[in-house]
Amino acid sequence: MFETVIDYIARTNLFNFIIFAGIIAFLFIKLDVSGVLRKGAENTAEEITNSETAKSESEESLHSVEEKVANLADEVGKIIKQSEDNANNIGEQIITDANKSAVRIQENTAKIIENKTVLLRNDIMKRASLASVEVAKNHIIKELDNNYDLHNRLIDESIEAINGVDV
């Protein structure tokens, strides 16, 4: 009986194995597992190729960036040098312009002083002339008051001068 059970189990296991193998074979044929595996392999190969292309492009980009970074210090130095030169040139131009402005201001100030001096001189001359005329007038009046004959003679001369004028 024990042998019968073992035979039964062995036959059942064999039968199950055959059915399982048949289902696997059917699915393998029906689902075209080898085609799917082939496509997977092709896709993987294509992905590897794309990855290698992307890797080489990335390496080229990295190399380009490294070159730019390597030259960056030189470029910054050039920019700083150019900026310093520009600043020096502008500073020199400002100093030159300031000196020219100072010279113009000095020249204008000298002209203003000269003009003011002329105006003051003219004003002093005018005042001196007016004072001289006033002194002379007072002196003449005093002389005429003290010398009545001179007064009459001047009046007579003025009248003769008027009579001699033809109208």
Kindly state whether residue 80 falls inside one of the protein's structural domains. yes
Specify if 13 maps to a domain.
no
Domain of residue 74: give its range: 32-163
**Per-residue model confidence (pLDDT) at position 9:** 67
Q: If DSSP states are collapsed to H, E and C, what string results for the chain?
A: CHHHHHHHHHHHHHHHHHHHHHHHHHHHHHCCHHHHHHHHHHHHHHHHHHHHHHHHHHHHHHHHHHHHHHHHHHHHHHHHHHHHHHHHHHHHHHHHHHHHHHHHHHHHHHHHHHHHHHHHHHHHHHHHHHHHHHHHHHHHHHHHHHCHHHHHHHHHHHHHHHHCCCC
- Residue 74 maps to a domain: yes
Q: Is the whole-model pTM more than 0.75?
A: no
Residue 21 lies in a domain: no
Does a structural domain hold residue 6?
A: no
Whether 15 maps to a domain, the answer reads no
**pLDDT, tens only, 6-56:** 676 667 877 888 888 888 877 767 766 667 778 888 888 888 898 889 888
User: How many structural domains is the chain composed of?
Assistant: 1
Q: What is the pLDDT of residues 115-144, one digit of tens each?
A: 999 999 998 999 889 888 888 888 888 887
